[in-house]
Amino acid sequence: MAGGDDLKLLGAWASPFVTRVKLALNFKGLSFEDVEEDLSNKSELLLSSNPVHKKVPVLVHNGKPICESVIIVQYIDEAFAGIGPALLPSDPYERAIARFWAAYVDDKLVAPWVQSLRAKTEEEKSEGLKQTFAAVETLEGALRECSKGEGYFGGETVGLVDISLGSLLSWLNATEVISGTKIFDPVKTPLLAAWMERFSKLDAAKAALPEVDRVVEFAKKRQAQAAAAAAASETNVRA
């Protein structure tokens, strides 16, 4: 890292969006201070660094805060262009394509997948999973096209789309443990299944991705809290 640069990441270990930033920092070979936030009692630093959304992740670079995970990843690539591998292509068109698919991951994969996890009815869950699997099939085609026969969306090396999708892997594996739902099916989406295995074995990924068992425990605790809150609300309505 360039001399004098101070990097501080405000985050929460279970957040895949925080993991996304950790992946970018790791792949670039940058050292940083990992500040774990208590989201039930947010720090003044977090609130002042992200006064609009008051959410993690926030990267503080030499006292200046940058918010939103995909924006942070792109900032890291630009601010430290001479350090480590490039996370976005140099060609403007290829860079635009990478940004398109990174946005697609959040809009078309993450959103319905979260809907399926938080669904209150089987119909909502089914619709969320239907949209999730449709997005996964589209991403299978995107990987085929973007990789150009290499191992990653970025080609020979990991890029923005790999990091955007890779940040979800611990939660995708946890979902399979909890519900039995396999998002990246080796039969239906063999390229993504192979990509997942390849990405997970990278040292930078292993250092950033939270342990699946820990995510499973966290998810079950959150589900229990949500169920208890719903039951309490139902009781109050009846009363």
pLDDT tens-digit series, residues 96-128 = 999 999 999 999 999 999 999 888 899 999 999
CATH of 7-80, one of 3.20.20.70, 1.10.3720.10, 3.40.30.10, 3.40.109.10: 3.40.30.10
Predicted pLDDT at 6: 96
83/24 Cα distance (integer angstroms): 12
Any residues with CB less than 8 A from the CB of 233 and at least 6 apart, and which?
A: none
- What are the CA-CA distances from residue 106 to residues 167, 214, 216, 220 (Å)? 11, 23, 21, 23
With left for phi above 0 and alpha for psi between -120 and 50, is residue 84 left, alpha or beta? left
pTM score over 0.85: yes
Q: What does DSSP say about strands 64-67 and 33-36: parallel, antiparallel, or unpaired? A: unpaired
Residue 218 pLDDT grade (very low, low, confident, very high; cuts 50, 70, 90):
very high
CATH of 92-215, one of 1.20.1050.10, 2.40.110.10, 3.30.460.10, 3.30.2310.20: 1.20.1050.10
Do 109 and 56 form a contact (C-beta atoms < 8 A)? Answer: no
Residue 238 has pLDDT above 70, yes or no: no
Domain ranges of the chain: 7-80, 92-215
70/103 Cα distance (integer angstroms): 8
120/44 Cα distance (integer angstroms): 34
Do 171 and 215 form a contact (C-beta atoms < 8 A)? Answer: yes
Mean pLDDT value across residues 52-57: 98
Separate counts of helices (H) and strands (E) for the chain = 11, 4
- Side by side, the strands of the sheet bearing 64-67 are 33-36, 7-11, 58-61, 64-67
Calculate the CA 38 to chain-centre distance.
19
The C-alpha torsion from 108 through 182 and 16 to 161, rounded to 10°, is -50
User: What tokens were used for 153?
Assistant: 């969306």
Predicted pLDDT at 76: 98
70/126 Cα distance (integer angstroms): 28
